[in-house]
Amino acid sequence: MTIANTAYWPESAENSYDLQIANNTVGGADLVRFEVRNNELWTSALGGNDTERAELDGSAGLVYAVGVPFWVAYDVMVEAGSPQIATAGGDPGGVAAWCVMGQIHGDNTENPVPWQLDYISDTFAVSIQTDPNQTWTTLWTDTAPTPRGTVRHVVVNISVSGKATDFCKVWIDGVQVVNFTGIIGSTNPDPHVYFKYGIYRGWQGDGYPPLANQIANVRQGTGSLASRITSPLPWPTHV
């Protein structure tokens, strides 16, 4: 499918509510609704890896070579719903092991994930992975949970090569929250990286309540998107 002139692969359990693309927005603005429900998986039968996710994978349309700086800008709103607390499975009463609402990924899924926007206990954070063994580093965690229904504006400028010259800059709602220089991703890097977005969470056996978000105004490329830092696009409205 194509969103804002960029091709994406859909990754979901292929229920009607997993991925819903609005086609009646003012000015034709892009707006996609994502939803995941307990144990509804993107399975091997669908080309997946038995995970709870509803995502659009940008490797279908735009990939970035090692060391090439690029930009991503998008807006995300999490819909009203129950807290992501396990109700069954191996950790009842525990919060989601992970929940992601945007990733920069590499060709090799076994390599570190260079960047992601985390969403744990209604709180956004930014993290990166590096060698060895996909080591996580959290670069920023918001000071408070985001009320459901609030639109957050995200802008990322990043270079991924597995070298000390890598950098990651992130702005949330016009405020720079990350200004990192250092190794990002694998020191034996993938040839390319790409952006994907939606919802990806685990563990699926823990019985988390349904979760839905809406993501709009997705733009990416090697050209600067710095204007989106202080001048976000309006949230789409329906005709």
pLDDT in tens, 28-52: 899 999 999 999 999 988 988 899 9
Q: What is the pLDDT of residue 179?
A: 98
Q: Which residues contact 67 (CB under 8 A, 6 or more apart)?
A: 159, 160, 161, 163, 165
> Over 80: is that where the pLDDT of 109 sits?
no
For residues 94 and 77, what is the distance between their CA atoms, to the nearest angstrom? 23
Q: Over the range 102-125, which residues count as b (16 or more CB within 10 Å of their CB) and which as e?
A: bbbbbeeeebbbbbbbbbbebebe
3-state SS track over the chain: CEECCEECEEECCCCCCCEEECCCEHHHCCEEEEEECCCCCECHHHCCCCEEEEEEEHHHCCCEECCCCEEEEEEEEECCCCCCECCCCCCCCCECCEEEEEEEEECCCCCCCCEEEEEECCEEEEEEEECCCCEEEEEEECCCCCCCCCEEEEEEEEECCCCCCCEEEEEECCEEEEEEECCCECCCCCCEEEEEEEEEEECHHHCCCCEEEEEEEEEEECCCCCHHHHCCCCCCCEC
- State what percent of residues in the chain have pLDDT above 70: 100
Q: Which residues contact 110 (CB under 8 A, 6 or more apart)?
A: none
pLDDT in tens, 154-198: 999 999 999 999 999 999 999 999 999 999 999 998 899 999 999
Which CATH class, in words, describes the domain spanning 2-63+83-151+187-218? mainly beta
Q: What is the pLDDT of residue 133?
A: 83
Q: What is the pLDDT of residue 119?
A: 98
What does pTM read for this prediction? 0.96
Closest listed residue to residue 124, CA positions, set 140, 107, 112: 140
Q: Which residues contact 148 (CB under 8 A, 6 or more apart)?
A: 78, 79, 80, 81, 122
Cβ proximity of 44 and 55 under 8 Å? no
Q: What is the pLDDT of residue 3?
A: 92
**Domain assignments of the chain as residue spans, ordered by start:** 2-63+83-151+187-218
3-state SS track over 63-105: CEECCCCEEEEEEEEECCCCCCECCCCCCCCCECCEEEEEEEE
Q: What is the pLDDT of residue 205?
A: 82
Q: What is the pLDDT of residue 238?
A: 82
- State what percent of residues in the chain have pLDDT above 90: 83
